[in-house]
Amino acid sequence: MIDNKIQQAVADALKKLYNIDNAIDNVVIQKTKKEFSGDYTIVVFPFVKQAHKSPEAVANELGAAVKESLDEVADFNVIKGFLNFTVADSYWSAFADKISCDNNYGIKHADPSDAPVVIEYSSPNTNKPLHLGHIRNNLLGWSVSQLLAANGRNVKKVNLVNDRGIHICKSMLAWLRYGNGETPESSGIKGDHLVGKYYVEFDKHYKAEVKQLMDSGVEEEQAKKEAPLMVEAQKMLKKWEDGDKEIRSLWEKMNSWVYAGFDETYKRMGVGFDKIYYESNTYLLGKELVQKGLDMGVLYRKDDGSVWCDLTDAGLDQKLLLRKDGTSVYMTQDLGTALLRQQEFGADQLIYVVGNEQDYHFQVLKIVLSRLGFDWADKVYHLSYGMVELPNGKMKSREGTVVDADDLIDEMEKTAEEMCRERGKNDDMTPEQLKELYHILALGALKYFILKVDPTKTMLFNPAESIDFNGNTGPFIQYTYARIRSIVRKATGEKGLDLNSNAKSVAVNDKEREVIKLLHDVRSTVSQAAASFSPAMIANYTYDLAKAFNSFYQDTPILRENDPDRMLFLVKICNAVSLTIKNMMSILGIEVPERM
């Protein structure tokens, strides 16, 4: 790429002119600021002392040397210690021609024999349906997986289903108490929604019991522990861990309802996994590791029988790993799951896509794994992301104040349909085509709105804003893509252009140059985004590209161009932009329609 060639040419000139060795690492190249003339800028101040000349003199001498050595450099200018290079039209023209039909431009394919990056995301509990918070988790996990794969990493996507524990028992107990044998078939309610209904039902009755105890003079914390429903749920959990057949049978039945519901929602969201783990299968391995830690002396047992890890020397506190009744906690199963994955995959990295409220949990996980003697503990990486909030505040599953994933997708599809009907440009499409279009637009709006925000930031979700056809939204980029495909179809059909033929070098104006320069940045953008685990960089790059294309399109009569060589060049730019948008949106898990 031309930026790398300029960087190397400057390093070579520094050696030739001033005998400065190994300068390449200190030659920082960046895009020239818009208020100055040029494409790329080199800061020469780091070399002034060794060159024994003023910044302006060094910049002028380096500029002249590079221009002489590189045909691709048309000119240069100097502003104090900043050396600005202008790249020749012939380079931009040839570059657009080269990439115009490259379906994989910007994508680096993985070697399947490489040690994989294992990415865990979703990790739902089987006591409630997926909600808006899960949507951000799933979309981020899927997109980071795609992003790393596009950067040449061998990626394995995994899901750990939290299918056991006290929260699961709460739904089970409430169903036994208040369900009257209700099933998804008898009620017409999706399985995960039905189980979630009884999780909320448990909380309602539990709070009533706590209040009744407090009214009788019991302290709040004691009331929460002694409420009959909670006591019974704890007993149910103990029975489950002891293998009670009746409890296990109920657990399997209700979980099967949830799994069917999850699968339907995952399909609608367009996400999937290479392997699914279940906490019920991994917590026992975690218990074995806890025993190993006791034997090694890195864990200790309290008088009540509970097992802990003392982390005070690491600036943390004491962490519970096994309850006094012998039942496990989240950390127990995470220890077992981490070991199991490392044994199965020989992973290069173990990435956990989990909200930032679990930052402490993953600090502890790494330390405990290390103390248990696993040298791969430093491969554990917590991809911590901010919560999704609504205009009216946070969501609470126990109280039923959540935005359900299925309901949200339904609403987004309805809004997409209304907006398309208002635009009135799809009258020639069949009902099936329209239904597919509404789904593509709805998911594009939802995914883009969530993924364009830096993962580390808490975000406010606004459905109406997300599906606007103008501004930094998914539908705006999707519409840009559809517009370009229409241009290309007309050019290759009505005009008879052959995009596989070589375009002649032509003059490049400012709008065209801006688009081509953005195309030139794809590979570095994907690389930087992967290094930062940030789909937001891909989203905002794609918006910038779509915006630059629309500015170019407004000023350029592409299909009315009289010069056939220039028309071919312009259509090749269009095709390259459309392929790049498609590839970048694919990293975000977003489809782009050929027509809108």
pLDDT in tens, 538-581: 999 999 999 999 999 999 999 999 999 999 999 999 999 999 99
Quick count: other Cβ atoms within 10 Å of Cβ 124? 23
End-to-end alpha carbon distance in the chain: 35
Kindly report the backbone phi and psi dihedral angles of residue 369, in degrees, each rounded to the nearest multiple of 5, phi listed first. Answer: -60, -40
Task: Decide: pTM greater than 0.85.
Answer: yes
- Mark which of 341, 361, 389 sits at the end of a domain: 389
488-508 pLDDT per residue, tens = 999 999 999 999 998 888 999
Quote the pLDDT of residue 325. 85
Kindly report the backbone phi and psi dihedral angles of residue 305, in degrees, each rounded to the nearest multiple of 5, phi listed first. Answer: 95, -10
Helix or strand holding residue 120 (H, E): strand 117-120
CA 465 from chain center: how many Å?
Answer: 20
68 or 333: which carries more pLDDT confidence?
68
d(CA 58, CA 17): 9
- Is the same domain home to 444 and 382? no
- The answer to whether residue 264 scores a pLDDT higher than 50 is yes
521-548 pLDDT per residue, tens = 999 999 999 999 999 999 999 999 999 9
- Is the same domain home to 510 and 420? yes
403 or 493: which carries more pLDDT confidence?
493
- Mark which of 389, 414, 439 sits at the end of a domain: 389
Q: Which residues lie below 8 Å from residue 564, measured CB to CB, with a gap of 6+?
A: none
CB 291 within 8 A of CB 205: no
311 lies in some domain: yes
In total, how many domains does the chain have? 3
Quote the pLDDT of residue 504. 87
Burial of residue 541 (number of CB atoms within 10 Å: 0-12, 13-18, 19+): buried
d(CA 82, CA 67): 16
- Is the same domain home to 308 and 341? yes
* 248, 253, 256, 261: CA torsion to nearest 10: -130
- Is the same domain home to 242 and 377? yes
User: How, if at all, do strands 307-310 and 73-79 pair?
Assistant: unpaired
Q: Could you tell me the two tokens for 292?
A: 């190993």
114 lies in some domain: no
23: domain CATH number is 3.30.1360.70
Quote the domain boundaries for residue 291: 121-389
- Is the same domain home to 448 and 481? yes
d(CA 277, CA 580): 35
Q: What is the mean pLDDT of residues 100-107?
A: 92
- The answer to whether residue 259 scores a pLDDT higher than 90 is yes
Q: What is the mean pLDDT of residues 79-94?
A: 95
Q: Could you tell me the two tokens for 22?
A: 């190994």
What strands lie across the sheet with 275-278, from one edge to the other? 275-278, 155-161, 117-120, 349-355, 380-385
- Is the same domain home to 367 and 442? no
Residue with tokens 């599809």: 413
165-214 pLDDT per residue, tens = 899 999 999 999 999 999 999 999 999 999 999 999 999 999 999 999 99
Residue with tokens 């003392």: 310
- Is the same domain home to 424 and 370? no
- Is the same domain home to 378 and 436? no
CA 194 from chain center: how many Å?
Answer: 29
* 141, 410, 405, 593: CA torsion to nearest 10: 0
113 lies in some domain: no
Helix or strand holding residue 194 (H, E): helix 191-215
93 lies in some domain: no
151 lies in some domain: yes
Residue with tokens 């103990």: 238
- Is the same domain home to 417 and 365? no
112 lies in some domain: no
399 lies in some domain: no
- The answer to whether residue 399 scores a pLDDT higher than 50 is no
- Mark which of 389, 414, 440 sits at the end of a domain: 389
- Is the same domain home to 44 and 77? yes
Please give the mean pLDDT across all residues of the chain: 93
Quote the pLDDT of residue 392. 60
Q: Where on the phi/psi map is residue 278: left (φ > 0), alpha (ψ -120 to 50), or beta?
A: beta
451 lies in some domain: yes
Quote the pLDDT of residue 400. 47
- Is the same domain home to 243 and 278? yes
507: domain CATH number is 1.10.730.10
469 or 396: which carries more pLDDT confidence?
469
Q: Could you tell me the two tokens for 449?
A: 């709105």
Percent of the chain surpassing pLDDT 70: 98
- Is the same domain home to 457 and 346? no
d(CA 453, CA 131): 18
Residue with tokens 């031309």: 2
354: domain CATH number is 3.40.50.620
